[in-house]
Amino acid sequence: MPEEHRRLSRDLRYWWLVLRTFWGLSPLRVSALAVATVLTAAVPATGIWLTARAVQAVVDALTRVPDAMDRLTCAAAGLVAVAVAEHILTSLSQYLNSLLQLEFTAKIGERVMVKGTRMDLSAYEDPEAYDRLQRALRESGSGTAFEVFEEMMRTLTALASLVMVSWVLFSWNVWIALAILLAPLPALAAHVVFSKQGYAIEYHRAQDRRRAFYYQDLTTTDSSYKEVKLYQLGPHLVGRYRSLVQEFFRVDRALARRRHGWSAALGLVSVGCSAGALVFALRSTADNGRIGELAGYLQALGAVHAAATGLLLGVATLYQNTLFTGNLFDYLTLPDGRITGGTRPFPRRLTHGIEFQDVTFRYPGTTTTALDRFSCFIPADTCCAIVGANGAGKSTIVKLLSRLYEPTSGRILVDGVPLEEYDTDDLQRNIGVVFQDFIRYEMPVRHNIGFGRLEHLDDDARLRTAAGSSGAAEFIDRLADTYDTTLGRHFEGGHQLSGGQWQKIALARAFLRDAPIAILDEPTAAIDAEAEADIFGRLRTICSRATSLVISHRFSTVRIADKILVVEGGALIEEGTHEELLARGGTYAHLFRLQADAYLPGASA
């Protein structure tokens, strides 16, 4: 029972949120729709009452009752007026509904995007949180939130209509009224129960659904095509997809069988009840001779069936869609990212440096320690390289420094000030970073570089300088529309670049930022040796203007750094210049010799 209460109060909260959202879109349209809804709800009861009066007037006219013709005229005029009103109200409601739906779809997509930009990285990297986000995203596009609003109106109409019809019926005969009104209940119960089960199944298969989408994605996107084709993974991926989908089908089929079996059986009870009411009404009319009421009962059977079906569909859909919409509103009402900063502006140029003090970090929801009491100092305006095996914790250092995550314990200081005292937006504005998995924007070159600093998007001179620094200028100038050439293959006229060219574009983006801290996570992985030497020549220039951090597995890159940090298992194990570390003969020296010998045996000696 407490569970039921909790669910009801949760549903009420969602309905309130839906109503508030629609009210926010247009108070006038929502009010007009509410009025139209209530008036539409009065149509069946008025129709039944007028029909009974009209039929009774016809019978009375046949037996020459004095005022019968007047009553017949009034009732007929009333029926015409009701039909016209119903038509106008229905058209008006449909118009208002379609406007609200258009407004809602436009607005909700935007709200989901805005929310996405405010979430912490953990919401994307933690599978559970990511699932929630994906569910919300699906709901925002599926229109279920609008359906909830529509169903609320439909349920309201059906409920009000039932109340008014009941009022008319009860005024004639309590027992017949009860039989007519209770008839649809068994079918209603079946719908509610099975909608609930349907939702529970869908909710718990979110991970598998995502897996199925992922397999589909792997076989239908350009980035994965080559590998899937050459490793001949197609049939295997299709097989995995098929087994997931077949399992969905098996479960859904079992539910469909139960749902339809029960609905048919309980529907039969409903039909029996309606038939009983009809027989009862016929017999009672035979006793009292009020033929008008009999016509009313016959019409009421149809009206109650329609209202109850409306209610039934309304409640069942409302129940199901509320649960789905709950995902959307849960997401939209989540508190924004927990990582908040202070108000201190970030320095435009570092004077002291960056210091990690005993920093330990575990990714949310995991027990493995990515960084373990990690301490280091990176002096201002130096170029510092971080090396270490895969999974050593190098990228984690970058994520913490750019405040995409907060340390589990320990502190990070910039110019002696804890990172959390700086305004986070300002901090992030002042870090130029190229991630391993940088974005390849399927947009013009101008945007690909200009996103480094939006205010320079149309400043060709700056874009050219940044492209020059990264070595991208040359190939950009050869493109058909130079800086206005769309990159990638997703959009018409797009020009695809090589992996190394994309990397140079990403570097240009970071260079345009002209930030006091520059972070390059594997910046030259896809770049040829000549271009790499060229970029690092330039990087030295940038280092003289910024404090830079370079993560690289290439020791030819690393050796130019002023300081090298060697990370292993999340801890700092060695630090110094290339020469110092070589002389020390530790892990760095070992790794360096391995790589140098691979290129030129005996080179490291």
Binding-site ranges for ligand ATP (CB under 6 A):
125, 363, 366, 368, 370, 388, 390-396
Contact 410, 364 (CB under 8 A): no
The CB-of-566 to ligand ATP minimum distance in angstroms stands at: 11
- Cβ distance to ligand ATP smaller for residue 73 or 366: 366
Reading the block at residue 218, the tokens are 């792997």
- Cβ distance to ligand ATP smaller for residue 355 or 372: 372
The CB-of-392 to ligand ATP minimum distance in angstroms stands at: 4
CA nearest to 562, candidates 374, 379, 416, 402? 379
Reading the block at residue 114, the tokens are 């805005």
- Cβ distance to ligand ATP smaller for residue 53 or 394: 394
E strand map for 307-430? 353-362, 369-379, 383-388, 409-414, 417-418
Contact 462, 450 (CB under 8 A): no
- Cβ distance to ligand ATP smaller for residue 9 or 390: 390
Rg of the chain on CA atoms, in Å: 35
Q: What is the 3-state secondary structure (H, E, C) of 406-451?
A: CCCEEEEEECCEEHHHECHHHHHHCEEEECCCCCCCCCEHHHHHHC
CA nearest to 411, candidates 361, 367, 370? 361
* Distance between CA atoms of residues 81 and 47, nearest Å: 10
The CB-of-146 to ligand ATP minimum distance in angstroms stands at: 35
- Cβ distance to ligand ATP smaller for residue 24 or 391: 391
Q: Given the structure tokens 């008006």, which residue do they identify?
A: 92
The CB-of-376 to ligand ATP minimum distance in angstroms stands at: 14
- Cβ distance to ligand ATP smaller for residue 80 or 598: 598
For the beta sheet containing 431-434, the strands, ordered from the edge strand earlier in sequence to the opposite edge, are 431-434, 517-521, 547-551, 383-388, 563-568, 571-576
- Cβ distance to ligand ATP smaller for residue 361 or 422: 361
* Distance between CA atoms of residues 170 and 183, nearest Å: 15
- Cβ distance to ligand ATP smaller for residue 327 or 396: 396
The CB-of-409 to ligand ATP minimum distance in angstroms stands at: 16
Contact 452, 510 (CB under 8 A): yes
- Cβ distance to ligand ATP smaller for residue 95 or 363: 363
- Cβ distance to ligand ATP smaller for residue 14 or 435: 435
The CB-of-518 to ligand ATP minimum distance in angstroms stands at: 17
Distance between first and last Cα of the chain: 78
Q: Given the structure tokens 């529509």, which residue do they identify?
A: 150
The CB-of-122 to ligand ATP minimum distance in angstroms stands at: 8
- Cβ distance to ligand ATP smaller for residue 121 or 189: 121
With the C-alpha atoms ordered 317, 318, 324, 325, is the resulting torsion angle positive or negative?
A: positive
- Cβ distance to ligand ATP smaller for residue 126 or 534: 126
The CB-of-483 to ligand ATP minimum distance in angstroms stands at: 32
- Cβ distance to ligand ATP smaller for residue 279 or 594: 594
* Distance between CA atoms of residues 303 and 226, nearest Å: 61
- Cβ distance to ligand ATP smaller for residue 199 or 363: 363
Contact 470, 463 (CB under 8 A): no
The CB-of-401 to ligand ATP minimum distance in angstroms stands at: 12
Residues 6 or more apart whose CB falls under 8 angstroms from that of 108 comprise 21, 140, 145, 328
* Distance between CA atoms of residues 531 and 554, nearest Å: 14
Exposed/middle/buried for 95, CB within 10 Å: 0-12, 13-18, 19+? middle
* Distance between CA atoms of residues 422 and 449, nearest Å: 26
The CB-of-151 to ligand ATP minimum distance in angstroms stands at: 39
The CB-of-511 to ligand ATP minimum distance in angstroms stands at: 22
What's the one-letter identity of residue 327?
Answer: N
Exposed/middle/buried for 529, CB within 10 Å: 0-12, 13-18, 19+? exposed
* Distance between CA atoms of residues 515 and 532, nearest Å: 21
Which residue pairs from 182-186 have beta carbons closer than 8 angstroms and sit at least 24 positions apart in sequence?
182/273, 183/270, 183/271, 183/273, 183/274, 183/277, 183/304, 183/305, 183/308, 184/270, 184/304, 184/305, 184/308, 184/309, 184/311, 184/312, 185/270, 185/308, 186/266, 186/267, 186/269, 186/270, 186/273
The CB-of-388 to ligand ATP minimum distance in angstroms stands at: 5
- Cβ distance to ligand ATP smaller for residue 396 or 486: 396
The CB-of-373 to ligand ATP minimum distance in angstroms stands at: 15
- According to DSSP, residue 486 is labeled B
The CB-of-343 to ligand ATP minimum distance in angstroms stands at: 29
The CB-of-391 to ligand ATP minimum distance in angstroms stands at: 4
